[in-house]
Amino acid sequence: MNAYERVMEALLKGRSHVDRPPCINPTSTATVQLMEETGAYWPEAHWNPEKMARLASAAHRLAGLENVSLPFDITVEAEVLGAEVDFMEEPASRKVFIWPKVKKPVISGPENVHPPGEVREAGRIPKILEAIRLLKREFEGLTPVNVILTPPFTSLVQGLADPVKFLPLLVREPEKVKAILDALVEVFVEIALAYEEAGADIITLHDMGACVGMVSPEQFKIFVSPYLKKIVRAVKIPTILSICGYTLPIVEAMASTGATAIAVDEKTSMAEAKKAAGKVKPGYPVAGNISTTLLSVGSLREIADAVGKAYAEGADLIAPGCDFRLDTPTRKIQFFVESVKRLKGGFFPF
């Protein structure tokens, strides 16, 4: 099986239908070393389609990861909705690379939500669509093109709204929060459809702001799940719902969104996640749950052990729990991939 076949089969049918679990990262694969090795540096790679495609495919080309992933940050959707983004150009000029962030909140109520006239022409969306097309032309049928979308709730708590003021509204003014989300969600649906039409094979809903540390399981069902369902139902391609942080109390709700698979990090037991997701659908695919810190600074032995543990506990796709840390060495990603490739028939030869 090639990477495309392995990943898509594992997503749609589970690991029993593949020769071994695929090794992927459904979130950002950008690292400083990969920028250096490809010449595709931030911030230009955030908006230049050629550099974006080059960096998105670097972990696949240079380390063997079995997908390509773009874009690299969680401000794309906020920018579409009118937020100004700080791309950290000054530190980048000194070779200090920092994740972009929203400069200031622009939404405090539904009256502040101003969808663009044409979503596909707003912000960086045209550049991302061109990068998807470039990657699709090269990797179609060989390696899946995974496109990351930051859903409404995380977009709000990570910049569109002031989280200090917004999060208390979940309790004090829940109807206002729902009104904001209702006003936003169609923009996210349109972005997902644009990604699909450009050639995305997978869309990852990177809802990192919706873990149990941020919302209760009941709040997840009210403020997160309904809006994820709208996005998932709108597209025909597979979707992965990725939430880093502790998620066991919401795993069943995550799987119930209709996403093709879910992804969890090391704070959530893979065995328990598989059990909870299996209540929604027997054999429901779960990806994870390798620590990104381990991949960055852990020993090779520790990485191998983590891969073996994830496999033994039932992971259908072996993946980091979140974005690669920017300081992750390429050789560690290579070793991570090789560790997964050695998983044959349940045997882990180390």
Q: Where are the domains of the chain?
A: 3-341
Record: fold of 3-341 = TIM Barrel (3.20.20)
Q: Compute mean pLDDT per 10 residues along the chain, 350 residues long, and list them.
A: 97 92 98 98 98 98 98 98 97 97 96 96 98 98 98 96 95 97 98 98 97 95 98 98 97 98 98 98 96 97 97 97 97 98 61
- Max CA pair span of the chain: 59
pLDDT of residue 288: 94
pLDDT for res 127: 98
pLDDT number for residue 347: 42
Q: Which amino acid is at 110?
A: P
Sheet of strand 261-263: strand arrangement: 68-70, 145-149, 202-206, 239-242, 261-263, 286-290, 317-320
- Residue 181: which residues within 8 A CB-CB, separation 6 or more? 152, 153, 156, 223, 226, 227
Task: Quickly tell me which residue has 């169609």 as its tokens.
Answer: 186
Calpha distance 297→253 (Å, rounded): 33
pLDDT value of residue 273: 98
What's the pLDDT score for residue 129? 98
pLDDT of residue 71: 98
For the entire predicted model, the pTM comes to: 0.96
Torsion of CA 312, 217, 101, 239, to 10 degrees: 50
Q: Which two tokens stand for residue 31?
A: 């690292």
Helices (H), 103-250: 125-139, 152-155, 163-166, 169-172, 174-198, 217-219, 225-234
Q: Count CB atoms within 10 A of the CB of residue 314.
A: 20
User: Residue 203 to residues 148, 189, 191, 300, 327: CA-CA distances in angstroms?
Assistant: 6, 12, 11, 30, 25
For residues 146, 147, 148, 149, the Cα torsion angle rounded to the nearest 10 degrees is -140
Asked if 84 contacts 105 with a C-beta cutoff of 8 angstroms, the reply is no
- Of the candidates 155, 220, 221, the residue with the CA atom closest to the CA atom of residue 185: 155
The predicted structure's pLDDT at residue 171: 96
How far apart, in whole angstroms, are the C-alpha atoms of residue 247 and residue 317? 18
**Separation CA 295–CA 293 (nearest Å):** 5
Spacing of C-alpha 181 from chain mean position: 20
Residue-level pLDDT at 348 = 45
